Amino acid sequence: MTWQRPTRRLVCTFAAAGTLFPVAALSQQDTTAAARARVVRTADSTARRDSTRAQVLGTIKVTAVQGSGLSLARPASVLEGRALDRRLAPSLAATIAGEPGVTARSNGPMATQPVIRGLSGDRVLVLEDGQRTGDIATTAPDHAVTIDPMTARRVEIIRGPAGLLFGSNSLGGVVNVVRDDVPTERAARLVSGTFTGQGESVNNGGVAHGSVRGGVGPLSWRVSGSWRTAGDTRAPRGPLPFSDLRGHDVGAGAALVDVTTSFGTWRLGGAARDVASTYGVPASFAGIVLPGAHDGGVYVELARRSGRLDGSWRALESSAAPRWRPRLTQANVSTQFVRFEQSELERGGFVGTRFGQLMANGDALVQYVRHAGVPVRGSAGVWAQWRDFRAEGSFTGTRPGVMRSGAVFAMEEMELDALFGGRAVRLQWGARFDAARIVPLDSTETALVRDVRTRAFRTPTGSVGLTVGAGGGVTLGASVTRAFRPPAIEELFSAGPHLATYAYEVGNPQLRAERGNGADLFVRLARRTLTGEMSVFAMRVRDFIYQQPLVDAVTGEPVRDRRLRRYNVYRAEQADARLHGAEGRLEWRVPRVRGLALEGTVSWVHGVQRSLAASAMAAANAPDWTPLPAMPPLRSRLQGRWENARWSVTAGAEAAARQGRVPPAPETLGRTTCALAASQAVAGAGAPALLPAEFCPTDGWVVANASASRRWIVGRQLHEITASVDNVFDADWRDHLWRAKQVAPQPGRNLRLFYRWGW
């Protein structure tokens, strides 16, 4: 297939994003806006030593509120160092998949989104240095998260609705990629840098990333860039067409850091970033085409340009004890602007749909300390965002709209040690009030979309968490959260085909906001030979929004679009949903064998929704509660690791159980099936049509992986090389969340070679 690059032009009006409820603002020593989103640090007294070890050895750490000395009152984890190097993939979601509670929903190697506790899209908040990305990854499964994981220094994950502290629409959780685009510390050297490169055999691909930083006095600066290219991905039985990609991610930032005056210490800085990529969205394999798709797939071309400004003030050190009246310790102001464009290209480079978005946001917050019988640290602030979203094309169903939203928030952490005989006890509470207003810029009504009008949403939300040090390296914790998510512009007003999702999408202007209540119970271990975390959770979401495939009440066949008769019609619907599950990670360091450890993770989620009326389901005996679509199966990972400062060797396997809990398929009179590509190929041209993937179960699988790395120092230069093998035995397997699973398998054996040079 050949295609032509279209001429880019602006199709909307403005953009930006920002931090929401920064827990890390509790730290009196935290002086930067970017750093306030870093809510994770090791919990015990050896935090600094363990942090250094993590950078060298790449451990995955359980987390804590920065500066609190106790574990964060919610499930959270960090991926960095060698552990991050071993997991690097073309997309952020594929890189973190396999962490407790985390999977990935794939629509191709690049179009992959993180799934946390079974929730994805607009229910998972993805941040870079505490700011929203400003892309449209949450609006559809074919849209990519515009963060190259190669540029990440660390990735922080908060699981569950406790992520509300960063934004009201984070029922699933929060993923924060830390890069320090705006420098947060004075440069230790005049100039230093890092170069990393990686090659892969499964797609003949490669990526190179370079970063140079330095500074003089209070001025610190940083420049970085990555370039990635890959061909079609190879599956065990052949190449996957339209899965190639290429792109770049370039950024620069500078700041005046720790400028001390008689009024306090100041910091002021800014950064800019340019991201562009072109990637395929596959829809066929071995001659079998996914229902509603083109013969092969489409290409997506995107570009994101952003700029941000950060400023902070920190009070001079004071020996006065805090009083009941708060004493200000720090203030932060941050703003970001983003311009985003995306084109979906058909054969010959014809533009089927072009999206454009401008977004702007800003936040301001103050931090304080006070004494209310016990020491209290807190923060309060405001946040606002404006999003202008447009779409155009030959026949697009996405409607333009403007969304304005804002919030006020406050949070405090109380140290209750004195009330419990010196036992480490922390109580955290947070509250926020959110408001959103969505204005459609096209009020045209269709046969399926009526009453298109401006919608407004507002509600209070909050969170309470408690952690208790039980002794012996054991910490117990619990949290309760109430969250809120207004419907997206696309869920309200869409009325037409979406090329790369193979669907005719219909919005619902009557949708109500989702309101969720969640609870977590967890235990953390931090012993000499045993560390980890286990948690159980439950969530109830009122008016859960999902895409329902429409079914003809007479024939039982899926409804197709009236114009082309090719796309299945999906309509945004609502129903109450319930989710519960468990997840955990445990690491055992083998006694008397220095550096040897066994690590295991497990994730399980069970989700159901109240079914629609029996007539809507085309089934007279529809049950009251049915499985939620796209729920990941029970998944686990077991790995053995031996490492020291120079060497690291790992071997293990990932596995998933069979997922047979899927929504009931309509009682069709036509010929439809969930058969995979192999049996379809045997059946030939007269084979039945394939059902949409959400109605089809998926078999379990086991995939083996291994890696080895070596580090050495020459003068003041660090060198590291890592060789990895994914899917060692070239297993033919299907992921339940892979939208084309009936047609195409997952990648086969992949040899990866990674190199890092730091100077």
Q: HEC states along 402-466?
A: EEEEEEEEEEEEEECHHHHCCCCEEEEEEEEEEEEEEEECCCCCCCCCCCCCCEEEEEEEEEEEE
pLDDT digits (tens, 9 = 90+) for 333-381: 999 999 999 988 876 667 778 889 999 999 999 999 998 889 998 889 9
Tokens 């073309």, located at residue: 90
Q: Which tops the pLDDT comparison, 387 or 16?
A: 387
Q: Which tops the pLDDT comparison, 670 or 550?
A: 550
Average pLDDT (278-294) is: 78
* H-helix or E-strand spanning residue 47: helix 47-57
Average pLDDT (708-732) is: 94
How many alpha carbons lie under 13 Å from residue 198 in its C-beta half-sphere? 27
Q: Is 752 within a domain?
A: yes
Residue 20 has pLDDT above 90, yes or no: no
Residue 47 has pLDDT above 60, yes or no: no
Nearest to 752 by CA among 729, 728, 718: 728
List alpha helices for 455-607, DSSP H. Answer: 489-493
Contacts of 5 (CB under 8 A, 6+ apart): 278, 301, 349
Nearest to 42 by CA among 86, 80, 77, 82: 77
**Tokens representing 234?**
């190879």
C-alpha span between 179 and 372 (Å, rounded): 37
Q: What is the pTM of this model?
A: 0.85
pLDDT digits (tens, 9 = 90+) for 613-668: 433 444 445 568 899 988 999 999 999 999 998 999 999 999 999 999 998 876 55
Nearest to 90 by CA among 235, 220, 206: 206
pLDDT digits (tens, 9 = 90+) for 171-213: 888 999 998 899 989 998 999 999 999 999 999 999 999 999 9
Query: Which band of pLDDT confidence, cut at 50, 70 and 90, is reported for residue 4?
Result: very low
CA 129 to chain centre: 13
**Tokens representing 94?**
């594929």
Q: Is 9 within a domain?
A: no
Asked if residues 560 and 550 have their Cβ atoms less than 8 Å apart, the reply is no
Tokens 């092969």, located at residue: 296
Q: How many domains are contained in the chain?
A: 1
pLDDT at site 504: 81
Q: Is 144 within a domain?
A: yes
Q: Is 285 within a domain?
A: yes
Domain region containing 490: 23-758
Instruction: Give the pairing type, strands 672-673 and 351-371.
Output: unpaired
Asked if residues 237 and 746 have their Cβ atoms less than 8 Å apart, the reply is no
pLDDT digits (tens, 9 = 90+) for 314-325: 998 876 767 778
Q: How many CB atoms lie within 10 A of CB 394?
A: 12
Looking at every residue in the chain, the average pLDDT score rounds to 82
pLDDT at site 335: 94
Query: Which band of pLDDT confidence, cut at 50, 70 and 90, is reported for residue 500?
Result: low
How many percent of the chain have pLDDT more than 90?
A: 48
Q: Is 187 within a domain?
A: yes
pLDDT at site 266: 95
How many percent of the chain have pLDDT more than 70?
A: 81
Query: Which band of pLDDT confidence, cut at 50, 70 and 90, is reported for residue 444?
Result: confident
Contacts of 528 (CB under 8 A, 6+ apart): 473, 589
Contacts of 18 (CB under 8 A, 6+ apart): 130, 131, 132, 334, 335, 336, 361, 362, 363, 383, 385
Q: Is 10 within a domain?
A: no
Residue 577 has pLDDT above 70, yes or no: yes
pLDDT at site 315: 92
pLDDT at site 29: 31
Tokens 């039980």, located at residue: 470
* 89-103, 617-631, 738-752: the lowest-pLDDT one: 617-631
Burial 631-670 (b: 16+ CB within 10 A, else e): bbbbbbbebebbbeeeebebbbebbbbebeebbebbebee
Instruction: Give the pairing type, strands 568-589 and 503-506.
Output: parallel
* 28-42, 640-654, 698-712, 727-741: the lowest-pLDDT one: 28-42
C-alpha span between 156 and 102 (Å, rounded): 12
Asked if residues 621 and 593 have their Cβ atoms less than 8 Å apart, the reply is no
C-alpha span between 746 and 738 (Å, rounded): 8
**Tokens representing 312?**
């902070």
Q: Which tops the pLDDT comparison, 453 or 611?
A: 453
pLDDT at site 688: 58
pLDDT digits (tens, 9 = 90+) for 413-437: 899 988 888 888 999 888 989 999 9
C-alpha span between 582 and 519 (Å, rounded): 12
Amino acid at position 506, single letter: V
Asked if residues 327 and 369 have their Cβ atoms less than 8 Å apart, the reply is yes
Contacts of 498 (CB under 8 A, 6+ apart): 140, 142, 353, 396, 397, 398, 504, 505
C-alpha span between 170 and 482 (Å, rounded): 11
Q: Which tops the pLDDT comparison, 622 or 20?
A: 622
C-alpha span between 223 and 279 (Å, rounded): 25
Asked if residues 608 and 576 have their Cβ atoms less than 8 Å apart, the reply is no
C-alpha span between 250 and 267 (Å, rounded): 24
C-alpha span between 322 and 230 (Å, rounded): 57
Sequential DSSP letters for 236-292: TTEEETT--EEEEEEEEEEEEEEEEETTEEEEEEEEEEEEEEEEEEE-EETTEE-TT
Residue 592 has pLDDT above 50, yes or no: yes
Query: Which band of pLDDT confidence, cut at 50, 70 and 90, is reported for residue 312?
Result: very high
* 395-404, 534-543, 718-727: the lowest-pLDDT one: 395-404
Q: Is 8 within a domain?
A: no
Q: Which burial class, exposed, middle or buried, applies to 77 when counting CB atoms under 10 A from its CB (0-12, 13-18, 19+)? A: buried
Residue 139 has pLDDT above 50, yes or no: yes
Q: Is 747 within a domain?
A: yes
pLDDT at site 601: 96
Sequential DSSP letters for 69-96: SSB-SS-EEEEEHHHHHHH--SSHHHHH
Contacts of 590 (CB under 8 A, 6+ apart): 529, 596, 597, 598
Contacts of 525 (CB under 8 A, 6+ apart): 473, 474, 531, 532, 533, 586
Asked if residues 609 and 626 have their Cβ atoms less than 8 Å apart, the reply is yes
Q: Which tops the pLDDT comparison, 484 or 613?
A: 484
Asked if residues 752 and 200 have their Cβ atoms less than 8 Å apart, the reply is yes
Residue 10 has pLDDT above 60, yes or no: no
* Alpha-carbon distances of 151 from 250, 273, 275, 752, rounded to whole Å: 9, 12, 12, 17
pLDDT at site 622: 52
Query: Which band of pLDDT confidence, cut at 50, 70 and 90, is reported for residue 49?
Result: very low
CATH number at residue 420: 2.40.170.20
